[in-house]
Structures are given as structure tokens and as C-alpha cells.
Amino acid sequence: MSHGKAEPTNPDAADYKIYSRLDSGESLESIIADPPTTKHGTVTSASNIKQEYGFWKRWRKSNPKISR
């Protein structure tokens, strides 16, 4: 789980997958409906997804994603 102080870097981790999906425009509800797995293969809980969403919103506010 990230802590909102840096962008996740492990592509196998759930926080990385959540950030990627949010950055691509996917909704929070869609991610909760089809949750990513953790790097250990377990499904991410809705509460963890919501927490990561809050981290992502704060991170993107101060560190906008640059489109290329």
C-alpha cells in the first residue's frame, strides 16, 4: 500500500494497478467492482481501494500526470 508520498513503482502491487487505472480515467466504482490483486495474489478489499483513491487524489493534486 502506498502512503500518498510517492507514486507506486512495483507493477505487481495493487497500489500501482489502482493508480494506473485511475490515471487512465477508470472510475473508483469500476475498480471496486473489478478489484486488482496484490503482489501476493489476493484480491484488494474495497476499503483499501478507497484509501488508495484518497492517496491518489492528493498525490495527483500536487503531482499532475503529464500526458505525452
Residue 3 counted as domain residue: no
**Residue 6 in domain:** no
pLDDT at 45: 96
Instruction: Report if residue 4 sits inside a domain.
Output: no
Q: What is the pTM of this model?
A: 0.89
Alpha-carbon gap, residue 29 to 64, rounded angstroms: 22
Whether 68 is covered by a domain: the verdict is: no
- pLDDT tens per residue across span 13-68: 999 999 999 999 999 999 999 999 999 999 999 999 999 999 999 999 998 887 65
Q: Is the pLDDT of residue 4 over 80?
A: no
Going by pLDDT thresholds of 50, 70 and 90, the confidence category of residue 1 is low
Classify burial at 8, counting beta carbons within 10 Å of its beta carbon; exposed 0-12, middle 13-18, buried 19 or more.
buried
Total structural domains within the chain: 1
Residue 51 lies in a domain: yes
Question: For residue 3, what pLDDT is reported?
Answer: 66
What range defines the domain where residue 43 resides? Answer: 14-62
| 5 confidence band (pLDDT: 50, 70, 90) | confident
